[in-house]
Amino acid sequence: MNDNTTSLFWNAGWAAAIQRPSEGFHKNWAQEGFADQTVRQIVRVTGSGTSARIKLSHRYGTAPLELAGATIALTDKGAAERAGSVRPLTFGGARSVRVPAGEEIYSDAAEVHVAPFESLTVSLYFARPTGPASFHAQAYATTYRAEGDQLAAADPAVFGETTVSWYYLAAVELADGGPARDDTVVVFGDSLTDGFASTIDGNRRYSDALAERLADQGTPRPVLNQGIGGNLLLNDSAWYGDRAGDRFRRDVLDQPGVRSVVVLVGLNDIGFSEIELPTYRPNPDQSPAELIAGYRELIRQARAAGVRITGATIMPFKGAEYHTPTAEAKRREVNAWIRTSGEFDAVADFATALADPSDPDALLPAYDSGDHKHPNDEGYRAMAGAIDLTTL
């Protein structure tokens, strides 16, 4: 690395959990990958700094990845970058880099002055075929693609193709010349954390609302979203990521300055076994005792790392495709343990906060996105409001 990178203390800005290439819920480019194409991705940071670097993940690659060039800039609107803010990214001083299969790599530092809640645009040019791309499926943010090397393109119209996934981009870290922070909050779990059904490009996940709430109360802190739609506590999934216990260290404990994590996972372990869909496999019938053992493993890992862990109750899902009396009984037993066992450092009672008082097994209609298990934007804001900020 260059001296301008190693002499800085890097803090959390933004992150996404990386998954295996798959078809996902929405059309994406993960399985086909890229060849002589530029990919432009937009992320909103919750930290601030005067320098930035990116982390690229080739975790699920099977051959080396060749990146021909990259830039970072302040975002204007859509695929447009703010004039005068574009900076080339280098890797060990070189504009191109070769990432071995299964590896991750950081860029050198680039001078970028960014404030909390500003968006950054990261553009990657792949001259040679990449093969299937490690990615984050459910970004709920628009990613743009153009043919050829368009790193310097000022006209956003050249980026005529879009998806709502992120590719290879695992993190943006920020530095301001000061000491490293140790107050990062990570929210971790499945689609309820990932922000399924939130407004695309609206930054309306519960992690966004939590970061805004912390700032409004005069205690701004970086908040990283490490949710994966469909993720399971106890089993790996070809579509929905490595199981929570396996990815907890890299996606939570290895994040810069992590102090606290909010865990919301288990709904899919309960629900997938109630319905037979190819994408829901593996779908074994998991008992509440097995789920509790899985939570205890996360608690053990967090405590060993000195990270405070908040357990979130599983929200109502009556009317969803996999709601059954059996599934509901499991949810109630697991939630009772989360609330009363005292094993987590704190509890975020999302289930109570979003339940319909007239039918506690169902989401309040005002918070229901329409599928009876995922909140809408207002529901995600209510989740953030249900967290006692002092427990973080």
280-339 pLDDT per residue, tens: 999 999 999 999 999 999 999 999 999 999 999 999 999 999 999 999 999 999 999 999
Domain holding 346, by residue range, is 181-391
Q: Quick one: tokens of 319?
A: 């009317």
- What's the pTM? 0.97
Average pLDDT (111-121) is 98
Q: What is the pLDDT of residues 326-363, one digit of tens each?
A: 999 999 999 999 999 999 999 999 999 999 999 999 99
For residue 2, pLDDT beyond 50: no
Residues 72 and 14 in one domain: yes
Residues 349 and 366 in one domain: yes
Q: Quick one: tokens of 29?
A: 């480019």
Q: Is the peptide bond before 282 cis (omega within 30 degrees of 0)?
A: yes
Cβ atoms of 262 and 44 closer than 8 Å = no
Average pLDDT (71-94) is 98
Q: Is the dihedral of CA 360, 366, 367, 368 positive or negative?
A: positive
In terms of Cβ atoms closer than 10 Å to its own Cβ (0-12, 13-18, 19+), residue 325 is exposed
Q: Quick one: tokens of 33?
A: 């990958």
Whole-number average pLDDT of the chain = 96
Residues 40 and 131 in one domain: yes
pLDDT of residue 290: 98
Kindly indicate the confidence band of residue 26, based on its pLDDT and cuts at 50, 70 and 90: confident
Residues 11 and 150 in one domain: yes
pLDDT of residue 5: 56
Cα distances (Å, whole numbers) of residue 28 to 12, 122, 153, 155, 178: 27, 18, 23, 23, 39
DSSP reduced 3-state for 99:
strand
Nearest to 264 by CA among 193, 170, 356, 167: 193
Residues 263 and 360 in one domain: yes
**Percentage above 70 pLDDT, the chain:** 98
Q: What is the pLDDT of residues 200-244, one digit of tens each?
A: 999 999 999 999 999 999 999 999 999 999 999 999 999 999 999
Residues 129 and 240 in one domain: no
Tell me the sheet residues that pair with 72. Answer: 87, 122
Average pLDDT (136-153) is 97
pLDDT of residue 3: 39
Residues 201 and 144 in one domain: no
CATH of the domain at 222: 3.40.50.1110
Q: Of 174, 205, 229, which marks where a domain is finished?
A: 174
Residues 331 and 280 in one domain: yes
Q: Quick one: tokens of 248?
A: 């907890």
Residues 221 and 147 in one domain: no
For residue 135, pLDDT beyond 80: yes
Q: Of 132, 152, 174, which marks where a domain is finished?
A: 174
Average pLDDT (242-255) is 98
Residues 337 and 256 in one domain: yes
Buried b (16+ CB within 10 A) or exposed e, 352-385: ebbbbeeeeebbbeebbbeebbbbbbbbbbbbbe
Cβ atoms of 215 and 250 closer than 8 Å = no
CATH of the domain at 34: 2.60.120
**Percentage above 90 pLDDT, the chain:** 97
pLDDT of residue 23: 86
